[in-house]
């Protein structure tokens, strides 16, 4: 059953956990909500939503998979994939906003994607491990 905190029409991020795994998980859940919303906005928005669903949930999955990396190099490679997926997510959200498929109330989702890009970029730049 979906978390009631995520089902309200409030698009603000309910809380931003320090644990990046949990934060990426929350972002993936919010991405699912955005995709559900896009399915009410017509065929173009629906088509674009499938791409958003893939990249918006993939970032967290790859980050978690990096925990099981066989080496530091493998872990860093997974972190880089997470960063690329989050950058794609941010791009797609910006396109959807610019084209009018997202409403202004959903700006916190775009802002969160931007913050996550900056966090992941810092991790990759510092070698892949949270400091």
Is the residue at 68 inside a domain? yes
Whether 76 maps to a domain, the answer reads: yes
Could you report the per-residue pLDDT of 77-129, keeping only the tens digit for each? 999 999 999 999 999 999 999 999 999 999 999 999 999 999 999 999 997 55
109-119 burial string, b = 16+ CB within 10 Å, else e?
bbebbebbbeb
Distance, CA of 123 to CA of 68 (rounded, Å): 17
Asked whether residue 11 carries a pLDDT value surpassing 80, the answer given is: no
User: Is residue 6 in some structural domain?
Assistant: no
Average pLDDT, the chain: 88
Does some domain include residue 47? yes
Report how far residue 103's alpha carbon sits from residue 90's, in angstroms, rounded to the nearest whole number.
15
Tell me how many degrees the CA angle 78-35-21 measures, rounded to the nearest 5. Answer: 30
The pTM score is 0.86
Instruction: Confirm whether 97 is domain-assigned.
Output: yes
Residue 44 belongs to what domain range?
A: 19-125
5 within some domain: no
- In terms of C-beta distances under 8 Å and separation of at least 24 residues, what long-range contacts does 82-85 make, across chains too? 82/24, 82/58, 82/120, 83/59, 83/117, 83/120, 83/121, 83/123, 83/124, 85/55, 85/56, 85/58, 85/59
């Amino acid at each position: 059953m979906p978390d009631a905190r995520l089902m309200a029409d409030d698009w603000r991020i309910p809380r931003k956990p320090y644990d990046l795994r949990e934060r990426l998980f929350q972002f993936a859940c919010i991405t699912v909500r955005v995709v559900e919303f896009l399915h009410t906005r017509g065929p173009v928005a629906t088509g674009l939503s499938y791409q958003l669903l893939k990249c918006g949930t993939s970032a967290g999955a790859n980050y978690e998979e990096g925990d099981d990396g066989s080496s530091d190099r493998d872990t860093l490679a997974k972190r880089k994939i997470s960063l690329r997926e989050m950058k794609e997510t941010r791009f797609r959200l910006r396109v959807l906003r610019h084209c009018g498929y997202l409403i202004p109330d959903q700006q916190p989702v775009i802002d969160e994607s931007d913050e996550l890009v900056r966090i992941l970029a810092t991790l990759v730049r510092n070698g892949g491990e949270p400091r």
